[in-house]
Amino acid sequence: AQKITQTQPGMFVQEKEAVTLDCTYDTSDPSYGLFWYKQPSSGEMIFLIYQGSYDQQNATEGRYSLNFQKARKSANLVISASQLGDSAMYFCAMRETGSARQLTFGSGTQLTVLP
Amino acid sequence: NAGVTQTPKFQVLKTGQSMTLQCAQDMNHEYMSWYRQDPGMGLRLIHYSVGAGITDQGEVPNGYNVSRSTTEDFPLRLLSAAPSQTSVYFCASRRDGIGDQPQHFGDGTRLSIL
Q: Is the pLDDT of residue A101 over 70?
A: no
Q: Is the pLDDT of residue B29 over 90?
A: yes
Q: What is the mean pLDDT of residues A101-106?
A: 84
Nearest to A102 among B33, B41, B88 (CB): B33
Q: What is the mean pLDDT of residues A29-46?
A: 92
- Determine the longest span between alpha carbons in chain A, in angstroms: 44
Q: What is the mean pLDDT of residues B83-88?
A: 96
Q: Is the pLDDT of residue A94 over 60?
A: yes
In this prediction, residue A98 carries a pLDDT of: 60
Q: Is the pLDDT of residue B99 over 70?
A: no
In this prediction, residue A99 carries a pLDDT of: 58
The count of C-alpha atoms lying within 13 angstroms of the C-alpha of B7, restricted to the half-sphere facing its C-beta, is 4
Q: What is the mean pLDDT of residues B9-24?
A: 96
In this prediction, residue B88 carries a pLDDT of: 96
Q: What is the per-residue pLDDT across B56-66, written as a single tens digit (0 to 9) for each?
A: 999 999 999 99
Q: Which of A39-43, A76-80, A99-103, B37-41 has the lowest mean pLDDT?
A: A99-103
Q: Which residues of B touch A47 (CB under 8 A)?
A: 102-104
Decide if A108 and B42 are in contact by the 8 Å CB cutoff. Answer: yes
Confidence of residue A29 (pLDDT cuts 50, 70, 90): confident
Decide if B103 and A105 are in contact by the 8 Å CB cutoff. Answer: no
Nearest to B99, CA basis, from A54, A106, A85: A54
Residue A115 near residue A24 (C-beta atoms within 8 A): no
Residue A57 near residue A10 (C-beta atoms within 8 A): no
The chain-wide mean pLDDT, for chain B, equals: 93
A64 touches chain B (CB under 8 A): no
Q: What is the mean pLDDT of residues A25-46?
A: 92
Decide if A102 and B92 are in contact by the 8 Å CB cutoff. Answer: yes
B→A interface, C-beta within 8 Å:
31, 33, 35, 40-45, 48, 50, 56, 58, 88, 90, 92, 97, 99-100, 102-105, 107-108
Q: Is the pLDDT of residue B41 over 90?
A: no
Decide if B43 and A43 are in contact by the 8 Å CB cutoff. Answer: no
Q: Distance from A8 to chain B by nearest Cα, in Å? A: 12
Which residues fall within 8 angstroms of residue A25, CB to CB, at 6 or more apart? A3, A4, A5, A32, A34, A73, A74, A75, A92, A94
Q: What is the mean pLDDT of residues A85-95?
A: 96
Q: Distance from B57 to chain A by nearest Cα, in Å? A: 9
Q: What is the mean pLDDT of residues A5-11?
A: 95
Q: Is the pLDDT of residue A1 over 80?
A: no
Q: What is the mean pLDDT of residues A18-23?
A: 98
